[in-house]
Amino acid sequence: MRDIVRSHYLIKIVYLLKLVRELKGISQQSLANQMGVSKQTISLWERNEVLPSKDNLERWMNTLIEAKEEI
């Protein structure tokens, strides 16, 4: 049961991170480059096909916090 609840919250966090990325105008490719992962990885996370690890989730959040909007 605990894993189900944790997955539910992770899915919500991932949705919010995707929303922030889109609002900042940052492409999946740009985010992937900044994080050192592939665009496909970002896409898998955002579609909830694969949930990011705790370390990747933290890196994703920090990357978005530090990222400037794309022109």
In 3D space, the residue among 62, 65, 50, 64 whose CA is nearest the CA of residue 10 turns out to be 50
Helix H or strand E encompassing 56:
helix 54-66
> Domains in the chain, ordered, with CATH?
2-66 (1.10.260.40)
pTM recorded for the entire structure:
0.85
pLDDT (tens digit per residue) in 12-45 = 999 999 999 999 999 999 999 999 999 999 999 9
